[in-house]
Amino acid sequence: MSKSDKIRSNLYKRYKKETGNEPWQLSEAHASEASLLINSKPENKVSYLSSSEQCEEKGPITFEVRPDPELIIKSVLEHFPYLKFRNSFRGIDNYNFTSPQPWSSPCPI
């Protein structure tokens, strides 16, 4: 077992012991904070179940959020500097390359 595997294993055991949750599960406190944050926007529809309900029979916690077009466009332009926003049509965003040879630009991902 490598050193990083041992560290990961120790962190996992410690987290599980302290919280009672798996690392990918939200604690009840964090889940209710997330629910409050999501519910704070009237356009968001939320279905929230407590951890115990989720594990027993209900399935995963699900919620729908309307996408923020401006945030999506901003994020695309930040991650792909060689693109330039052209327009949106029926929910589809169109971009142009900023240079004639976009493949010569480094990809940030």
Q: Quick one: pLDDT at residue 57? A: 55
Distance CA 90, CA 15 (A): 46
- At 38-62, the pLDDT tens digits run 555 555 454 544 445 444 555 566 6
Q: Quick one: pLDDT at residue 87? A: 80
pLDDT along the chain (109 residues), means of 10: 82 80 63 54 49 52 69 82 80 75 56
Q: Quick one: pLDDT at residue 82? A: 79
Residue whose C-alpha is closest to residue 79's, from 49, 106, 48, 52: 106
Q: Quick one: pLDDT at residue 80? A: 80
- On whether residue 109 sits in a domain, the answer given is no
Residue whose C-alpha is closest to residue 82's, from 99, 66, 94, 69: 99
Q: Quick one: pLDDT at residue 54? A: 44
Q: Quick one: pLDDT at residue 100? A: 64
- On whether residue 79 sits in a domain, the answer given is yes
Q: Is the domain of 12 the same as that of 36?
A: yes
Q: How many domains are there within the chain?
A: 2
Give the total residue count for the chain.
109
- On whether residue 37 sits in a domain, the answer given is yes
Q: Quick one: pLDDT at residue 49? A: 46
